[in-house]
Amino acid sequence: MVKNRLKEIRMREYMMSATDFSKMLGVKQSTYSQWENEQNNPTLEKAFEIAKLLNKELTKIWF
């Protein structure tokens, strides 16, 4: 599994609930929850899309 910093970004920079953050990212809350809890990872395409949306380098979110 790839370590991610989604929860940290969501809480520190956006101060949003997981549900609202998942909506902002355009994914189901259950999917986002799996990513945040490192039970699953997004596709590489989706990871790049999320990084662009959050205005972050991919390596600042995952790895």
pTM given for the model: 0.86
| 18-30 residue pLDDT tens | 999 999 999 999 9
Q: Is CATH 3.30.465.10 what the domain over 6-61 is classified as, yes or no?
A: no
| 11-60 residue pLDDT tens | 999 999 999 999 999 999 999 999 999 899 999 999 999 999 999 999 99
Q: What are the two backbone dihedrals, phi and then psi, of residue 18, each rounded to the nearest 5 degrees?
A: -60, -35
- Residue 26 token pair: 């355009």
Q: Which residues contact 23 (CB under 8 A, 6 or more apart)?
A: 29
